[in-house]
Structure 1
Amino acid sequence: MITRRACLRPALAGAGLWWWGAWAPAQAGAQIEEPLADSVRTALTSAIANSAPPVPEFEEIGARLAYLRWLGDMSRRLERRKADWTERKEFLQTVWYESRRAGLDTGLVLGLVQVESAFRKFAVSPVGARGYMQVMPFWTRLIGHGDPSSLFHMQTNLRFGCVILRHYLDRESGDLYMALGRYNGSRGRPQYPTAVVAAAKKWEWKDPQPTEIPPAVPRGAS
């Protein structure tokens, strides 16, 4: 997980943040359309197209129980923002699946969603970014089916957002601050990555009943 020391690294990113409950309109940012090599486009398209459902499956009972403990804890933390249990469960289950599928820390993704949309499914920024992870519509043309309205679908939005962030992390050689700056379209300014890292700390989780079983990876992940 992200350390306090990492927060002090030279930061990068921009403002335009969605806070708990109300949108802060100043300096809104979003991903910037960039030329993609054919190989990159193909890889991203493949990552988006995999239709495996976000239903966790576990070969070990200990891993399943750890997941259920995580789900219960996260649900309690999120209840103030999403009152309906079914909606909370489906959202958290999908975040867990899509973050791990993309090789991302789940707490980081939840922190990003908090900053970007305050957990609002139909959030739209002044520059047109949509949904939980505020994905720009041009991504549906570059690596998807070209239907921007699909970004209001929960799993579609979370999958696009996680795949895009993974892509930016790879482009920035694993530098989280650089990747977050690129995600926000404000590479070179500290406000956005600082906000996401701070929010992610609120979603850190340590299993109160740890086992020797390694963390489960969702089947069908690629």
Structure 2
Amino acid sequence: MSLSHEGSGLPGPRGPIRAPQSLAGGILLIALAALALWLTRDLDQGTLNAMGPAMLPRWLAMAVGLSGLALLAFAFIKQGDVLERWSLRGPVFVIGAILAFAVTIRPFSFGPLAMPGLGMVAAGPLAIIIGGFATPEARLRDLVILALSLTPFCMVLFGDLLNLPIPIFPQALTGLFPADWSQKAVLRATAAIMAVAAAILFFATRSRRTNRIDVADHSGRI
């Protein structure tokens, strides 16, 4: 005897739009890509041999825009999820991370408020940690390890390999290293120290997490 599953699931969206969530996501990605292209309209793109400040954000914006177009197409041809209730937690923490990065990477002043430029060495981890709390499953330990791992990679990529004019560290940091070291040498040493700190934190805290004993009652009895 066969069992009928009709009516057991939620009804899918009706009409030409089969995935409202994909439609909303596609529109948002296209809008972000258009905003990025508009904001970088006056920047020099340069060439592959001599990259300008606009090359990376423009190519990323075009990739984001193409992803948005793909989501729009899937919204009409593939069954997907309906729009759910929005939460302000994600947008608040993501926007806060962007603002924290913007006001700390370079010197910032707003009226009587003035902040020194801390460079990517401080602005990167700060943005990663704040943005990570956009999800309620975020844990500070994991975010710190991610920040100490991803930031040195970005420092070496943008400051050393691509030679982009991005503030990497405050000038006061150079005084902690030998006077005859170049800025790239200080950059590489700082990136190595952060990567080693991430590895030490990972291995030092991993044993505490793996040694936990599950004492929950899984027998199903009340």
Q: TM-score range by the shorter chain?
A: under 0.3
Instruction: Determine which structure has the larger helix proportion and give its number.
Output: 2
Calculate the TM-score normalised by the size of structure 2.
0.24
TM-score (norm 1): 0.24
Larger RCO of the pair (alpha carbons < 8 Å, separation 6+): 1
Query: Which has the greater radius of gyration?
Result: 2
